[in-house]
Amino acid sequence: MERLAVVNGVLLVDKPLGFTSHDVVAYTRRLFQIKKVGHLGTLDPLATGLLVLCLGKATRLAKFMSGWDKVYTGIVRLSHSTTTYDLEGEPLGKPTDVRVQKEKIISLLPGFHGRIRQLPPKFSAKKVRGKPIHRYARQGIPVQVEAVEIEIYDIKLLNLLPNQLWLRVSCSAGTYLRSLAHDIGQALGCGGYLSYLRRVRFGSFSLADALPMDQLFRICQKDKLEEKIIPVEALLPELPALIVDSQGRRKLLHGMRLSRGECQGKIPIPAEKDYCKALDQQGKLLALGRFVQTDDSSGEEFQPEVVLVDR
């Protein structure tokens, strides 16, 4: 297949079991011969589901989307805890047969709702002194890990099986479902770990719209990739949009500020320092930026921070 001239946008992939997020990125880059490919929100090899790939210039927008909320379904195995908080780890204690009443689970789960402080797993990519803490753990080096504030927006019991809780969790970025499973097991007094995890939503992106990895090869053979791409213009719909003319476009390409008079559309209140999208008159996304005070403090100007078009 010849290299695609322009591929800028988001591709939704259903990551299969056993693949790292980097594996999916590398496969996509190699398959479609695209130089710039990144992903939002790492999924562990044992997790499946929605992986959001940013292609081409969409990689420049990743920081605006990486903090979006996520929704997962998962299974907490009640029997014992493990060193990794999932089924890959070594057992901590002797496995036991657990029978928990549904009423007890239903009364327990609200305690994990809302803003809580969560301790990341020792075997995770959380960094301490610039190094992922899983490296310290594998070397047997003790390291102090601080609990972080996360938010659980919703947690529901989908099914209760022998020794297993099937949950659906809506949460903020930075939430470790492995830690949640471990903490639930501790609260029940029997220990628990995450035995299954599937991401079903990432911000406004849904797993229902994702392509299984085996279909990537098929659309590559048929040159159908562009039909599956979400263009950059469709991303970040919540941001106010400004329209600029050809002169404004040229100024943005050189990183120059625009006065309010050079911008059309709904302009945010300057004090809010909201990000805005700058579009040309044909609707093409040119840049993202914010309004800042002019050098002489006489007003506000649009300062581009991320420019998406070439000179």
Which residues carry out catalysis?
44
Beta-sheet pairing, 275-279 with 241-243 = parallel
Which tokens go with 250?
Answer: 């040229």
Q: Do 146 and 174 contact (CB within 8 A), yes or no? A: no
The SS3 of residue 266 is: coil
Provide the 10 A C-beta neighbour count for residue 55.
25
Q: Do 286 and 249 contact (CB within 8 A), yes or no? A: yes
DSSP E strands: which ranges in 244-299?
A: 258-259, 264-265, 275-279, 285-293
What is the C-alpha to C-alpha distance for residues 151 and 171, in angstroms, rounded to an integer? 6
Using CB atoms within 10 Å of the CB of residue 290, give its burial: 0 to 12 exposed, 13 to 18 middle, 19+ buried: middle
- Position of tokens 């404004």? 248
- Between the alpha carbon of residue 32 and those of residues 126, 233, 281, the distances in Å are 31, 22, 31
Query: Whats the size of the chain, residue-wise?
Result: 311
